[in-house]
């Protein structure tokens, strides 16, 4: 059984992505007890956005996190540094 249900997916898709081109993956860790989800996004893309866009995206990620947590599952943000020698500033 999937930790990320159709109902959760439908609820997440009601929230408009505020910045064109932003990609986020919902990663399931259903083998864990209890299962949990991660909202994964990528540093190589994140660094292309302006500060204003990043603020909008953080608000978006917070809304999605709250929607999923309302379905009684733990959710974490999972930024991935996907460039060699990249450092978060």
40, 75 Cβ separation under 8 angstroms: no
Closest to 58 measured CA to CA, from 68, 46, 48, 73? 46
Enter the pTM of the model. Answer: 0.86
pLDDT band at residue 1 using 50, 70 and 90 as cut-offs: low
Please, what is the average pLDDT of the chain? 90
Q: Report pLDDT for 89.
A: 55
Calpha distance 8→73 (Å, rounded): 10
Q: How far apart are the first and last CA of the chain?
A: 39
pLDDT at 28 over 70: yes
């Amino acid at each position: 059984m999937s930790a990320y249900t159709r109902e959760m997916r439908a609820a997440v898709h009601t929230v408009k992505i505020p910045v064109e081109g932003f990609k986020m993956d919902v990663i399931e860790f259903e083998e864990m007890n209890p299962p949990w989800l991660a909202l994964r996004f990528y540093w190589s893309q994140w660094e292309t956005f302006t500060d204003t866009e990043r603020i909008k995206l953080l608000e978006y990620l917070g809304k999605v996190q709250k929607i999923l947590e309302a379905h009684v599952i733990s959710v974490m943000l999972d930024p991935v540094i996907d460039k060699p020698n990249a450092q978060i500033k």
